[in-house]
Every structure is written in structure tokens, then in C-alpha cells.
Amino acid sequence: MTTDGQLEQLGTKDKAWLGKYSQVHMNVFGTPLRVMDHGKGTRIWDIDGNEYLDFLAGIAVNSLGYAHPAWVKAISEQAAKVAHTSNYFATEPQIELAAKLVKLAGAPEGSHVYFGNSGAEGNEAAIKLAKLYGRTLPGALPEQGGKPARIISMVHGFHGRTLGALSATWKPVIREPFEPLVPAVEFVEPGDVEALKAAFDATGTAADGKGPVAAVIMELIQGEAGVMPVGAEYVRQARQLCDEHHALLIIDEVQTGIGRTGSWFAFQQKELSGGVTPDIITFAKGVAGGFPMGGMIAFGQRLSDLFTPGSHGSTFAGNPLGAAAALATLGVIEHDDLLANAQARGRQLREGIMATGNPLFKSTRGAGLLDAVELAHPCAHAAMNWMLEHGLIVNAVAPNALRIAPPLIVSAQDVNEAVSIMAGVPADLADD
């Protein structure tokens, strides 16, 4: 929004730079909405000086907002020491961070961390580990007359766009151009216990039988599907089926983890997970507060031991600069009690949206600061653009839903300001 509160228009510098963008960048993200210049706290400014209240946080990445002093200090000091070493060597931040994450996850003794650089990489690692585990199951080795172990994923689930992660991602429009993908990955409807049971029951040595299930992978809240919880009872029964059939339960915490839902990890909330303990969790997005980092935690020694030297890796995995950024991020979340803030501000946001009385807002859903507002008709992109032009950043996550994921540092005043802007969205916007 401009300083006088009037409708912000695309500025001359934005127009010029966006023209250059299209000339040199592959068109995988479409046309960017603005060219951003700098940020502070929950605010960001474009190159024309327009100010925005950011209630998307880089899609749940900027846990501490922009330019947090502790985060900037940690990165600056580490960069002055060493930013990168190969994985022939270790660094103190890398070791400290892994130990910290195992502790925050409440993982049992013998649990270990693998670091990558993104959520997709974390899920790639989890899928590879699950495939190694699958080879230990009876009847899973084709060279011994068996059938390859399977991985069960969820309809509407999203786990990344690299080939392995894409294989477990449901959305046909982004899957189909790259098929054939990793084989022996199947999809079931989330919430449908009978469908999941049928997938397990398909295992057998008969001609129409399939290989055993190595793992079930799911998000507790399907972020890209519109911030849709899969249901605590379903997760509990999925855990039970995994136990009965000696399969792993992988919980993708890329979007829900690191305080986003009001606990360190979403599975730690009984109302989201049914109180289950996973075998593997993956993480990324908010862990390093804006620095690229992701990975997985394997729960227990037996599972961790399946990865041996050379079975997986990444040049930049666990680099000291990213590890320092993550340690600073986790430290601020702890020191400033941002888990409680996520819970309080999330409630305030969801209740405030519905209290506006705007007929466009049908309902809200979510946990902590991972939320969505369902719209009365499918005008999400029009609503998103209207809010952007009035100084508020949100995301059209589905035709009839907006995703809202502000930084964990968001204040009550910030929420009130965002709700005030949202209250003014016209209810008669054109459908997308």
C-alpha cells in the first residue's frame, strides 16, 4: 500500500525489472507479482517503495520474518568463519543442529538426521530410506521371486517436484508430463481407512498379488490441497495398519513443522495425529528462517543404519552457514515462546476473519499459523490480487481458498491490520 493508503499500482521499476525477468528466467513460476527489495519484521517493500504486510512468509519459510537481528548476526558471524566445507569434514553447527532437532522431535535414542537443502530433498531421502527398508520385508526381492515393496501416498498430497518426491505427489497435472516415475507408488483417499486397508490387503504371492507395503507417507495437513487436515483418527488407524504389516509411517512436516502449527512438529499434537509416533519425519521451509535447508529424521537406530556411506548425499547438505541460520531460528522460537504465539495469533486470525461478516468468507480452518479461509465462490486469485493491491500478501492455494501463513513473530496488531484489509474484499469478485 502507498503511504497515503491509496490503492497500490504496479510501479515503473517493477514493470522494467519484470520485463527483464521474462527474458532470462525459465517460465516455471509464471510472471512474478512484484520485484521485492527489502524487508523488516512482518513487512516487505518492493523496488518502487510499496509496503506489504506479509502473511505468507515465503510460503511458511520466513519463521522470524525479515532481517531478524539474531538471524542476521548468526549468518554474518558464521560467514566470517566458514560458509561451506565438503562432507569429508564436519562442523560444530551441523552437529549441534542435528542433536537439537532430534531432541525437539522427541525421537528415541539411536535416531539420526539427514540434511538436504529443501523439502523435496528431505522427501527424496525418506523415500530412498523406505525403499531400502522395503527390501528387508519378506517377499519383496524380485531376484528371489518376490515383488517390489510399495509406498502408499495420499490423494491430494504434495511432497515435491523432483522425480522421487513427484512420484509420491498426487496432482496429475504436474505428474503426468514426467511419467513413468518411480514405480510401486500408489495413492489412496485420505480419511478412507477402508481404502488404505485394501491397499495393504493387496499384498500377496498370487498372480494378482502385490509386493508388501514398505511405507505410508502423508502430511497431517495437506498444505497445497488447501490446508486440509487428514484427520487424527485416520492417522491413528494408519499407524495401526503400518504396525500390523511392518510398514513405516512417514510424516511430511515440511510445511507443518518447526512451530508452524503451534508445536515443534504437527505430529506432537494429538488433535492432528491421534497421538502417534512416526518412523520418519521430513522437514524444511521454516527450519532455517529463509536459508535453504531441509532433511529428515529417522526414528531409531535400526532404521537409521539402513543408510550407509554412499547410499545418499548432497554437496551442500548440512553446510555450516545453513546450520547456523537454523540454530538461530530455533533459538529465537524457544526464547520468545513463538509456539504459544503461533497458537494465540492463529486463533485470533481465524476468529477475526469470520467476525468481519464478509459474505465472501465461508469458513476458516488450520492450526497455529497455517490457516486457510474458504471462499463462497472460486475467486481466490482475484481475492489474492485485491489484497496484494491493498498491501497484504496471502496465497490462492485452491480456486475457493486462500492460504495464510504469517511469520511466527506476527503480533496481535499485525493480525488486526490484516483482518481489517480482508474485511474490505468485495464479495462479488469475478471467478478465476
Spell out the residues 6+ positions from residue 194 whose beta carbon is closer than 8 angstroms to its own.
Answer: none
Nearest to 404 by CA among 424, 380, 379: 380
How many folded domains does the chain comprise?
Answer: 2
pTM as predicted? 0.96
Instruction: Considering only residues 80 and 2, tell me which one the structure prediction assigns the higher pLDDT.
Output: 80
User: Do 185 and 317 fall into the same domain?
Assistant: yes
User: Do 210 and 353 fall into the same domain?
Assistant: no
CATH number at residue 381: 3.90.1150.10
pLDDT tens-digit map of 124-176: 999 999 999 999 999 888 777 789 999 999 999 999 999 999 999 999 999 99
pLDDT tens-digit map of 279-329: 999 999 999 999 999 999 999 999 999 999 999 999 999 999 999 999 999
87 occurs within a structural domain: yes
Give the model's pLDDT for residue 381.
97
pLDDT at 2 over 50: no
Share above pLDDT 70 across residues of the chain, in percent, rounded to a whole number: 98
Assess contact for 182 and 163: CB atoms under 8 A. yes
40 occurs within a structural domain: no
Contacts of 321-324 with CB under 8 Å at 24 or more apart are 321/75, 321/78, 321/79, 321/83, 321/84, 321/291, 322/115, 322/117, 322/288, 322/291, 322/292, 322/293, 323/91, 323/93, 323/94, 323/96, 323/97, 323/115, 323/293, 324/74, 324/75, 324/77, 324/78, 324/93
User: Do 304 and 364 fall into the same domain?
Assistant: no
Give me the DSSP letters along 374-423. EESSS-HHHHHHHHHHTTEE-EEEETTEEEE---TT--HHHHHHHHHHHH
User: Do 399 and 265 fall into the same domain?
Assistant: no
